[in-house]
Amino acid sequence: MFLSIFLICPNLLAGVVLLVPDTGGVGEGVIAEAQAKLRQGDIESARQTLQSLLSTEDSSHPELVLADMLFQNGYGKEARATLERFSTINAPRVDTFYAFGKLAIEEKRWFDAWVHAKLAERVAMPTNWTPKYQETVRAQLQLLMLASHAGRGDWAQVKSLAESLVTGDKVPDEFLSYAGEAQFHLGNIPGALEHYQRLAAQQPSFPTPELVVAKLYNAANDQVQAEAFFQKAVAVNDVEKQHTARLEYARWQLWQGKPEGVSDLLTFQTAHDDIRTEQQYLLAMAARMEKRLPEARTILDKLLQASPDSFPARNQLALVLIESPGLADQQLARQIAEENSQRFGNLADTWSTLGWIQLKAGDLDSAERSLSTATKAGTISRDTAFYISVLRAEQAAKLRAAAEQSSGPFFYRSENIPSGL
């Protein structure tokens, strides 16, 4: 679930932050007006607009709302200053401690987050918060502590707290999720499945519990158990959940470098466009991995006919075309990759693919720049690492050739290094 850095969400299962529940949208209108002023760079006008929230039920303090909005609109320095100033000159508030706790979670300062959540529990609730909303806020503080324990890897503490929160008939999904994950990490798989089964009963869209456990095993790098639970997940009777499990299992097989079973997994009919699109995309990846390039191209062409702006399909098509022996296909690959760099320049895969295509064309300088850009996002993909290794090998080969052809002493002539594409 998405949670804003600061604002306490009245609906634990909402996809967006709802500041003022059950007030006819008055609070939302104020927020929208303030957002418009903030986008124009007028922070003070936005602040004044938010003042009406002081008398609005179930709202965070206007200064905390403003700090949250500043963060979301790229005013990080001003947001921190607003938060610090407010906490200095005002009495401690629940939502102030919550704000600092959420910020600590965002910055992976797990103990700080726990401390702020505990401090928030000791402060009286604002008088403009209804009893129902106060219960919601208490649940949010529990989630803050659960996130803190989980971030530190203290699953015993997660279990202790989460199990105390799931005793009722209807509890927030997040509590059950934390309880299930804690049981998994503590080695109690039946206990984990029990919580996930309960969650699935509460939330029809929740995947089959076996699939959740399979993905947890995958994250823990236990691929034997991951595959065992993927196989259990695809055997469920619920057709739609089985389709979801088949997609996840197929994706896992591709990530493991085992494309041979993907086609069998994905031979099913579905009326859902999003599932069908993912199904065809994974089939294209399997075909590419098995060097069935014409088939991969056909699938990707069809996907792009339906969705011309799909970056994943465009990216894969460029990678398929560059392997073609035809010069026209290779040129089209470079054209697509260059267009992607202009349209999707914020994605690392854009630059990784462009770098590889430039490298295949012998343009080492351009490849160096593109692959360098791809690495700026931090962790790189396996393919990007391979592309860079090939680039370095080719650069080394050219430098070795230059050394052989130059004049002067050459003390390392007898040394060998890997070279060539």
Of 82, 73, 86, the closest CA to residue 34 belongs to: 73
The interaxial angle of helices 223-233 and 209-219, nearest 10 deg, is: 160
The total of other beta-carbon atoms located within 10 Å of residue 91's CB is 8
CA distance 54 to 72: 21
pLDDT at 157: 97
The segments of the chain whose pLDDT lies below 50 read: 1-5, 8-26, 421
Of 376, 326, 336, the closest CA to residue 356 belongs to: 336
SS3 7: coil
CA distance 325 to 345: 28
CA distance 352 to 367: 9
Residue pair 320/332 in contact (Cβ under 8 Å)? The answer is no
CA distance 28 to 319: 46
CA distance 208 to 171: 19
pLDDT tens-digit readout, 97-118: 999 998 899 899 999 999 999 9
pLDDT at 125: 92
Burial of 201-217, coded b for 16+ CB within 10 Å and e otherwise, reads eeeeebbbbbbbbbbbb
What's the Cα-to-Cα distance from 411 to each of 218, 399, 403, 407, 408, rounded to whole Å?
Answer: 50, 15, 11, 12, 10
CA distance 254 to 261: 9
> What residues contact residue 400 under an 8 Å CB cut-off, 6+ apart?
417, 419
pLDDT at 364: 96
**DSSP code for 268:** -
How many Cα atoms sit within 13 Å of 222 on the Cβ side?
Answer: 14
Residue pair 46/81 in contact (Cβ under 8 Å)? The answer is no
How many Cα atoms sit within 13 Å of 81 on the Cβ side?
Answer: 6
Residue pair 66/82 in contact (Cβ under 8 Å)? The answer is yes
How many Cα atoms sit within 13 Å of 3 on the Cβ side?
Answer: 23
pLDDT at 168: 83
How many Cα atoms sit within 13 Å of 378 on the Cβ side?
Answer: 1
pLDDT at 25: 46
Tokens 């850009």 label which residue? 373
pLDDT at 14: 31
pLDDT at 413: 79
SS3 291: coil
pLDDT at 12: 34
Main-chain phi, psi angles of 305, to 5 degrees: -65, -40
What's the Cα-to-Cα distance from 86 to each of 91, 99, 100, 159, rounded to whole Å?
Answer: 9, 11, 12, 35
